[in-house]
A and B are shown apart, each in its own frame.
Chain A
Amino acid sequence: MAELVTFEQFVVRILKIVFWILIILPLIILPIFYLAYVLPVEFVCGFNALTCSTHINWAFAINMFNPEQMDPFSSTSMLSQMGLGASGVLFKSSTFPGLTFAAVLSSFVIWYERKLLAKMQYRVGPLYAGRVGGIFQSFADLFKLLFKEIVIPAKADALMFLAPPFAMMALSGALLAIIPIGSTTYIAQSPYSLLIAIAILSFFPMVTLLAGWASNNKFSFIGAIRALYQMISYEIPLLLSVLGVVILTRSLNLSVIAESQTKIWYIAPMILGAVVFYLTAMAELERIPFDLPEADSELVAGWLTEYTSMVFGVLNLAVYIKLYALSALFTILFLGGWLGPPGLPDFVWFLIKTAIVLTIFIIPRGFSPRIRIDQLIGFGWLWLVGLTFVNIFIAFMLSASGLL
């Protein structure tokens, strides 16, 4: 590798790498899932229990509020009503575009983040697991974690200590369920899906606090309190930042929001809202520069300190699924969702856009130090909330003038 002399060369190098990774990531990984999607999967299953369990599926539960809004997917055929088959709820929620897809994608996101960061820092990053650039490093880590002992601190409340990983995973999964990734590729539809997504996001601080409190560790506790502060004070700008888009579309349905961006992507008129959403999502995700709950130089690992083994792995995976879900939300709200030139399936366009947003979420880790809690909260309440009001004002003006 030639010696890099100037910062400009460095940036060019990074952009090239980003470009190639962005090309390769969708081209190699996504066809696998596309194949899995089009291939018919038949369950030969006579257990009533399975049928019953799918009937009390949470996707149904969400729609139980309004029977008229029950989705077509639950009444097309007997098979899919029972939640079986390639287009059934069970397949969708568990495989694609549900949890398994998101988990596998997240493990590649972890690898991608490490590799990108390594390139920014003149390192090689993961190298040995897998033929190409250590691409299976995350799976190697997974197997390593699986063989580790699960240590529960002696004075911790074991039940409460082990609950947060599952709760975290469940919440991330719930967030996935409500986010459509194509015009016909979704798990659950609801006219209030944006509101539901925000409501699910506001559950995360409680899980974090539970994790920190149950660990019976001072570092965990301080980390959890910080996470609580941070997430609660950034929820308000998050909610306000999407309000502009809602005003323009007059809908809370994410599918409608995505489909209504045929004329122009909302990132152009709602640039302030997009910036605020980006920053608040970073804070919700506890990513650098907002990773104070996990600040390793002062709090060891924050609220994750006492977690070991696959319990830690599950927590970490849930956080990365949340990262993917928030990137997807950003894509739907501001980048036109799955809209794109014809030729590729719509969810491929969606995933390409999501990968770009993911990269933008990841890159600050390379050039930014950590912010302090008082600065963070001051920034959130003073600047972000102020900007969202400007954004809402712009949305009102555009809506009233009939431009959009």
Chain B
Amino acid sequence: MSGAQAKQEPSPRAHELVNSLNSTFGQMVSVTVLRPNRIRVQTDRANLRALATFARDMLHFDHCTNVSGTDFPKDKQIQIDYHLGSIDGEDLRSVILGLTCRVPSDDAKLPSLIEIFPSVDLHERETYEMLGVTFEGHPELARLLLPEDWSDIPPMLKAYRLPGRLEGE
């Protein structure tokens, strides 16, 4: 779906990043430049940890700003986006590197990035309870925002409809 967006020319610094990613991972990733400073790297869950480690050690992205999960019921897939930012990386403060990974809905498991980026802690917990995605290796994958007695399906799945709302409203 996101692929439909028109490609843009990256900023010079982002261009280096794209080249570096392409030369290291080659066919394992597909790199898209959404805006001059927004790079999206799509990969599969087997390569996620390697990609994140590379982003931290070689590309100097030192923290994670956001983890968002999106349900695509038509594809029977859930998409997880890690948005990485950098403070110490040279000229990298304006760049956001998005690591995108799609997992099948019936086997929603993903390696946790908490050892690589400690800042994903609460974001991963939230994604776990909101979409039912299990992050393997997360030390405290417990409920965060939902009530203790929540017994419905994870609410951010498209199958969950808010009570009192009509279909399609």
- Whether chain A touches chain B in the assembled complex (some CB pair under 8 Å): no
Interface residues of B (CB under 8 A from A): none
